[in-house]
């Protein structure tokens, strides 16, 4: 129900009719826009078609706009008026009956209002995928919320989405993690001091994991680390993943699937993927020059297995094996993406941290090679978050280690504020997270302002003893709206367009911006009632304006749908 796209198509069909009558000429390729006009112009739609076609028709935009104006009024009975504005814009006003029908449709669609009917696709969205060596920190938080909200957005549009976490449970960092748990166990049961080793993990959560393993008693003897390593590693990772799941749950994030690197390696998926690419002539033995910034004196050229990443737009070919014969992280990641491709997804999306931006070209190259260019991989980088309180960088408790945890952040400001504010800027720019701003109850706090609008609407319906979901019948003869209500409806009509653009561009930050603008119109209208009884939603004798109530219902539907995509609650009372 994208009003702007709908009328773009309808106006195009009118243009084709005019072309058949030889009243205008249309080029084979052109594009025009139907959108809301600027706030200072009281119209419902604005179209630039006259300016787009003027030169091709050897006419002035104003003259062509006047011709189109006449035919639009003939062809569209719902158009009350069409004015030529500025350099040739067509500003369109609807009859009041149009808005009555529009409101009826919105209320009927309810939770589906805003979703589109485009071709549905199967998505895999991989996000967070932090090393399973401890709790999540604030750096993971933004990517987790971005991935989860993108999943909600695409699901809202009817796509099938799998939310996935890739567990890097193989390699040196895992051995260091398991060693840390082992030394904490020895510290607890044998009073041996924890080693001062920079490779070990110092956080108190390691002690918690050690205690759980001791209490479970699945390992009887801790004298020989190598002998118990496999079992100890399994137990340590199990409790670490439980901690990560708990952190994600506190953010409102639940993954559908966890894929373990160790299982892919044990099933020989890496060697199988390498073999397939070798058969396609994408892998060879060669020597690489020293990377930029690397001291050439320290760099040793050696013959190694390389992937022809440059064939697919990467800056250099990429090594697949370390000097000791172990697979590189990239080789394992190639196997993981081959595993994704084998599951027949239409589109793969990876949410990456700021420190992984340089990794994008090589993994996209690998995906192209593995899928024969049939599967798209889209990468979104989640930039850094800077925490502030009273204008100063904010440092919280570091009980969990040498970083600020998701658990700390949620305790400080709550899930709703965290999610909304993490989405309040584009993911590709750094975000300043101000604790003062997200906890105050004012217009300056966007999440409060949006939730407060929903609570106010609920209070109106409660005072009238109406359900917000009540079927309210509109009377054709008595249907009227004032200019402020129509302004709110115009903004509501933009919701499907906001969803479509956000979905197509994978930019969910557009939604909190839209919701804030929408509720600002509502709060401004509410405030008019403080000085003028005419604008009050409920009169002193308890009477109400029916069209106004249905407008409020449609407003509540958009707020609810938008906040649901963001994963933020809409409390009925505040």
User: What is the domain-level CATH number for residue 507?
Assistant: 1.10.730.10
Which residues are 352's β-sheet partners? 381
What is the mean predicted confidence (pLDDT) over 371-395? 89
Of the residues 60, 94, 128, the one at which a domain ends: 94
Could you give the number of structural domains in the chain? 3
Q: Quote the CA–CA distance of 32 and 15 in Å, as a whole number.
A: 12
What is the mean predicted confidence (pLDDT) over 116-137? 92
Q: What is the pLDDT of residue 293?
A: 60
Is 300 inside a domain boundary? Answer: no
Q: Quote the CA–CA distance of 145 and 128 in Å, as a whole number.
A: 9
Is 121 inside a domain boundary? Answer: no
Is 51 inside a domain boundary? Answer: yes
Query: Mind giving me the DSSP string for 385-426?
Result: EEEEETTEE-----TTSSS-BHHHHHHHH-HHHHHHHHTSS-
Strand, helix or coil for residue 38: coil
Is 369 inside a domain boundary? Answer: no
Q: State yes or no: pLDDT of 175 exceeds 70.
A: yes
Q: What is the pLDDT of residue 400?
A: 46
Is 477 inside a domain boundary? Answer: yes
Q: What is the pLDDT of residue 297?
A: 59
Three-state SS for 46-93 is EECHHHHHCCCCCCCHHHHHHHHHHHHHHHCCCEEEEEEECCCEEEEE
Q: What is the pLDDT of residue 563?
A: 98
Query: Mind giving me the DSSP string for 356-388?
Result: GGGGHHHHHHHHHHHHTT-SEEEEEEE--EEEE
What is the mean predicted confidence (pLDDT) over 305-331? 93
Q: What is the pLDDT of residue 206?
A: 96
Is 499 inside a domain boundary? Answer: yes
Q: State yes or no: pLDDT of 329 exceeds 60.
A: yes
Q: Quote the CA–CA distance of 377 and 313 in Å, as a whole number.
A: 14
Q: State yes or no: pLDDT of 401 exceeds 60.
A: no
- Asked if 559 contacts 517 with a C-beta cutoff of 8 angstroms, the reply is no
Q: Minimum mean pLDDT among 90-99, 316-325, 482-491: which range? A: 316-325
- Assess whether 89 and 200 both reside in one domain: no
What is the mean predicted confidence (pLDDT) over 149-170? 96
Query: What crossing angle do the helices spanning 495-505 and 510-528 adopt, rounded to 10°?
Result: 160
Q: Quote the CA–CA distance of 26 and 57 in Å, as a whole number.
A: 8
Is 343 inside a domain boundary? Answer: no
Q: Quote the CA–CA distance of 121 and 158 in Å, as a whole number.
A: 8
- Assess whether 453 and 560 both reside in one domain: yes
Query: Which domain covers residue 457, as residue numbers?
Result: 446-566
| Residue corresponding to tokens 């933009």 | 494
User: What is the domain-level CATH number for residue 40?
Assistant: 3.30.1360.70
Q: In this structure, what token pair is assigned to residue 221? A: 């003897």
Confidence band, pLDDT 50/70/90 cuts, at residue 399:
very low
Nearest to residue 495, comparing CAs of 20, 115, 50?
115
Q: Quote the CA–CA distance of 453 and 568 in Å, as a whole number.
A: 14
Q: State yes or no: pLDDT of 256 exceeds 70.
A: yes
What is the mean predicted confidence (pLDDT) over 4-10? 96
Helix (H) or strand (E) holding 552: helix 546-566
Instruction: Considering only residues 105 and 393, tell me which one the structure prediction assigns the higher pLDDT.
Output: 105
Confidence band, pLDDT 50/70/90 cuts, at residue 574:
confident
Q: What is the pLDDT of residue 396?
A: 55
Is 274 inside a domain boundary? Answer: no
Q: Quote the CA–CA distance of 526 and 520 in Å, as a whole number.
A: 10
* Biggest CA pair distance of the chain: 95
Of the residues 226, 250, 274, the one at which a domain ends: 250
- Assess whether 88 and 179 both reside in one domain: no
Of the residues 41, 70, 94, the one at which a domain ends: 94
Q: Quote the CA–CA distance of 104 and 116 in Å, as a whole number.
A: 18
């Amino acid at each position: 129900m994208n009003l702007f796209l709908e009328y773009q198509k309808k106006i195009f069909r009118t243009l084709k009719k005019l072309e058949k009558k030889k009243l205008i000429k249309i080029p084979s390729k052109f594009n025009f826009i139907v959108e809301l006009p600027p706030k200072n112009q009281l119209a419902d739609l604005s179209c630039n078609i006259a300016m787009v076609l003027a030169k091709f028709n050897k006419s002035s935009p104003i003259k062509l706009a006047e011709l189109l104006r006449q035919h639009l009024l003939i062809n569209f009975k719902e158009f009350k008026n069409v004015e030529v504005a500025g350099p040739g814009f067509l500003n369109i006003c609807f009859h009041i009956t149009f808005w009555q029908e529009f409101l009826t449709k919105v209320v009927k669609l309810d939770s589906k209002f805003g979703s589109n009917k485009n071709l549905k696709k199967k998505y895999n969205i991989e996000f967070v995928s932090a090393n399973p060596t401890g709790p999540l920190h604030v750096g993971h938080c933004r990517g987790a919320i971005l991935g989860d909200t993108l999943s909600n957005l695409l699901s809202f549009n009817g796509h099938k989405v799998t939310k996935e976490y890739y567990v890097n449970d193989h390699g040196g960092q895992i051995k260091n993690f398991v060693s840390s748990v082992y030394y904490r166990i020895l510290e607890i049961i044998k009073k041996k001091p924890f080693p001062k080793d920079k490779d070990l993990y110092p956080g108190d959560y390691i002690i918690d994991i050690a205690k759980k393993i001791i209490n479970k008693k699945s390992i009887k003897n801790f004298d020989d680390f190598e002998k118990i390593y496999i079992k100890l590693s399994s137990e340590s990772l199990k409790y670490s993943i439980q901690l990560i799941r708990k952190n994600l749950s506190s953010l409102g994030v639940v993954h559908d699937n966890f894929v373990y690197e160790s299982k892919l390696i044990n099933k020989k998926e890496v060697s199988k993927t390498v073999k397939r690419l070798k058969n396609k002539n994408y892998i060879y033995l060669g020597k690489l020059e020293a990377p930029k910034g690397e001291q050439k004196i320290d760099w040793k050229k050696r013959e190694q297995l390389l992937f022809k990443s440059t064939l697919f737009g990467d800056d250099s070919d990429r090594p697949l094996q370390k000097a000791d014969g172990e697979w590189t992280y990239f080789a394992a990641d190639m196997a993981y993406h081959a595993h994704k491709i084998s599951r027949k997804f239409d589109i793969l999306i990876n949410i990456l941290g700021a420190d992984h931006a340089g990794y994008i070209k090589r993994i996209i190259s690998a995906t192209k090679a593995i899928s024969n260019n049939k599967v798209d991989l889209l990468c979104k980088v989640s930039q850094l978050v800077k925490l502030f309180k009273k204008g100063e960088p904010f440092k919280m408790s570091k009980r969990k280690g040498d970083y600020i945890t998701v658990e700390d952040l949620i305790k400080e400001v709550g899930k709703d504020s965290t999610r909304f504010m993490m989405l309040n800027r584009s993911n590709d720019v750094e975000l300043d997270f101000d604790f003062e701003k997200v906890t105050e109850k004012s217009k300056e706090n966007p999440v409060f302002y949006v939730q407060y609008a929903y609570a106010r609407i609920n209070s109106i319906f409660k005072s009238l003893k109406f359900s917000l979901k009540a079927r309210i019948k509109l009377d054709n003869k008595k249907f009227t709206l004032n200019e402020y209500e129509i302004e709110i409806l115009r903004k509501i009509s933009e919701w499907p367009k906001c969803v479509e653009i956000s979905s197509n561009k994978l930019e969910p930050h557009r939604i909190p911006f839209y919701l804030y603008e929408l509720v600002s119109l509502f709060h401004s209208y509410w405030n008019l009632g403080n000085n003028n009884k005419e604008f009050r939603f409920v009169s002193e004798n308890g009477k109400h304006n029916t069209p106004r109530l249905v407008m409020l219902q449609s407003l509540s539907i958009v707020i609810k749908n938008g906040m649901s995509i963001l994963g933020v609650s809409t409390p009925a009372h505040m």
